[in-house]
Structure 1
């Protein structure tokens, strides 16, 4: 960690992709959401099904962080729909990187600064 106590997180895109198996859940190929910092930004249709989202959520913070090039979290990008009868998959792609500081993100009273989302230079 540098002297400024900064860290970087990847922005993510989570996109529905089709396989040879039929999709039975309410998600369509090309449907997506973005993750910038802690924020989910839904695609143009503004929706994403709850159950696949619930299955994906635990993986997203790990995908945001830098990992070893041989770690499966780095190399594996496609996650199956949690419904065993559905052929849909979700591709998680690291897109851009975003800089944060400890003071911008900490809830600890003695470490806290201006939240990242309240800074004028923030595009989070």
Structure 2
């Protein structure tokens, strides 16, 4: 009877140690996934070129315009949420600074952006607030 108890104890201890190892492995993988996500968000796109720009190059102009507008909306929402969370500065001043950077980025990236991106609709914090809330 003692041998069965000994074998069972060894198996339980082994599985316990393996569970602890597995826990730390999964924890490490989640940190790696977070790093990958942050890297992609920081550079915009893993390849370094916008999918909308690729569509323009291919010749799918309407699809490219829609994709560029979506990218613009994601960027505007990102700065809107950052400014909303940060209460240290005036929301309108901080938002306007960040928005002008995004506006210039899109005007440089695409030709005739004002034909498919409505910059005035999001130019102030109050305008963005009307759209996003």
Q: Is the shorter-chain TM-score for this pair beyond 0.5, marking a shared fold? A: no
More helix by share: 2
TM-score range for the pair, normalised by the shorter chain length = under 0.3
Larger radius of gyration: 2
More strand by share: 1
Normalized against structure 1, the TM-score is what? 0.24
